[in-house]
A and B are shown apart, each in its own frame.
Chain A
Amino acid sequence: MIYKDEEPTKGTVKVMGQNLRLLKKKDLPKLRRKIGVIFQDFKLLPDRTLEENVLFALEVTDTPPRNMKKKLMEILTYLRLSHKKYSFPYQLSGGEQQKVSIARALVRDPYILLADEPTGNLDSRSSQDILDILLDINYKGTTVIMATHNLNVVKKMKKRMLRIENGELVKDK
């Protein structure tokens, strides 16, 4: 609902002060460019290298070519992925694939990062790696919203927690 892939059955959704119900269809891509999304299953393009997967997000949003390489190098260095930039997703571990997915979401400098079960498919060490990165991203000023079923992950993060049961908000701590 935050990036308007689903419509609420009732009520309104406001993102960055914008009522999404009133958002015109043509303005939807502009909203999505300000929101990064990562998923449990990574959603990488299997026939493209790590570099191409990240660049794809810049190319399809009309980023000037001169900025692309610079942005790409910055994000790959930050996530310690530079040495793997010519690897295809099947050549990467789960943790690395999730990092690529984060790189693709971050490369457009979003205001909000949505993480849907980002550690769901990862072992504990890779999970910790990803959680550290998400905390760091948040520390640098990006709002991170993470959905998870794993209570241990929530406890470790020590951040505001919203608990939703059967579509109802039951806890805000």
Chain B
Amino acid sequence: MGLRIGIREGIRTITRNSSLFLLSLLVTSISLFLLSLFVLVTVNLYHAVKLLDEKIEIIAFLDDHANVQGLMKNISKIKGVNDVIFISSEQALKDLQNELKETEEVLNVFEKNPLPASLRIKLEHTFRNRKGLSEISNKVMLLQGVKETIYGGELVDQLKKITNMISAFDAGLLIIIIFSVIFVIFQTIKLTIFARSTEIEIMRLVGASNSFIAIPFTFEGIIQGALGGIIAFLLTAVTVRITTSIVSVVYFPRLYFLAGSIIFGAIFGIIGSSAAIRRFLR
């Protein structure tokens, strides 16, 4: 019965103090929107890093008479190799022609196709670093039919260092923003609770338990957080739409963002209201 009355009291407060609730909802929505934007930037950063990471590979150029099938089989067996793709010399020329569409005549100076056949060797995640690349490259070089291998050793390491640094900075900033958002929500909920201090005093006076007193405020916190999350999601969706018209691709998993905004909004609402009400319960 306590829960039912608590929820009813929460609804009563929302409807009777609607202007205060709307003001507090506005602050919550803007805070969650800022957090959502930052998460969006972070997600896109990680997405870009992942795409870059997947591009780390070894290219092995082959002799004219190399046994392609045998080589592919042997390379696949090397520890750390994920996939091996054969690129024939004709395919390589075609790819180059596509890339150099506007300066196609450059290739006409050659009487015959100068590009060798090659194998693109994709690596497992843990081998996508300088050490892993050189280790696998050395093993591939030992195989008969392989003329040369290339990979961006030092560049890969530099890239990893930079992305790791950015990621750490980003994670630190994210934690600060999360705490700031909780603090802002806590402060706004505290204001609404202050406005109802007589009600809390009377509840304590007549012998309501602390958990009973907290229910309406927690319920209000959940509603405020969840609604704030939905509004923040809509604002983020609009921002993404505007951004995609300027920058070509923005990674925005809608469903995850919607669910995340609602769930985290509600959790922040619970944390904020519990912390705020605690000050009134002695």
In the complex the two chains form, is A104's CB within 8 Å of B2's CB?
A: no
Number of interface residues of B (CB under 8 A): 19
Contact A32 B207, CB 8 Å, known A59-B5, A60-B5 = yes
Q: Residues on B close to A: CB < 8 A?
A: 1-2, 5, 16, 198-199, 201-210, 212-213, 282
How far, in Å, is B214 (CB) from chain A's closest CB?
12
**In the bound complex, how far is the Cα of B207 from the Cα of A56, in angstroms?**
11
Which 6 pairs from chain A and chain B are nearest by CB? A33-B207, A32-B207, A60-B208, A57-B206, A29-B207, A29-B209
Docked pose: A3 CA to B202 CA in angstroms: 13
For A35, the closest partner residue in chain B by CB is B207
User: Is the pair B199, A61 in contact by a Cβ cutoff of 8 Å?
Assistant: no
Question: Contact size class for A?
Answer: 20 to 34
In whole angstroms, how far apart are the Cα atoms of A45 and B13 in the complex?
12
Provide the residues of chain A in CB contact with B202, threshold 8 Å: 43, 45, 56-57
B206 neighbours in A (Cβ, 8 Å) = 32-33, 56-57, 60-61, 104, 108
Residue of A nearest to B13 (CB): A47
* Contact between A43 and B212, CB atoms less than 8 A apart: no
A57 to chain B, nearest CB (A): 4
User: Does any Cβ of B come within 8 Å of A30's Cβ?
Assistant: yes
Give A90-134 as 1s and 0s: 1 = Cβ < 8 Å from B's Cβ atoms. Answer: 000000000000001000100000000000000000000000000
CA A25 to CA B20, docked complex, whole Å? 32
Q: Are B198 and A61 in contact (CB under 8 A)?
A: no
One of A26, A34, A43, A65 near B205 (C-beta < 8 A): A43
Instruction: Specify the chain A residue showing the minimal Cβ separation from B8.
Output: A59
Tell me which residues across on chain B come within 8 A of A65, comparing CB atoms.
1
Kindly provide the distance from the CB of B20 to the nearest chain A CB, expressed in whole angstroms.
12
Q: A32, A47, A56: which contacts B204 (Cβ < 8 A)?
A: A32
A62 touches B1 (CB 8 A): yes
The reply on A37 being an interface residue by CB < 8 A is yes
Report whether B205 and A108 are in contact in the complex, using a CB–CB cutoff of 8 Å: no
Bound: A56/B212 CA distance, A: 12
Question: A60-97 interface mask toward B, CB cutoff 8 Å, 1 = contact, 0 = none?
Answer: 11100100000000000000000000000000000000
Q: Which of B5, B205, B208, B213 has the most CB of A within 10 A?
A: B205
Whether A61 contacts B207 in the complex (CB less than 8 A), given A43-B201, A47-B16, A56-B202, comes out as yes
When distances are taken between beta carbons in the complex, the residues of chain B under 8 Å from A47 are: 16
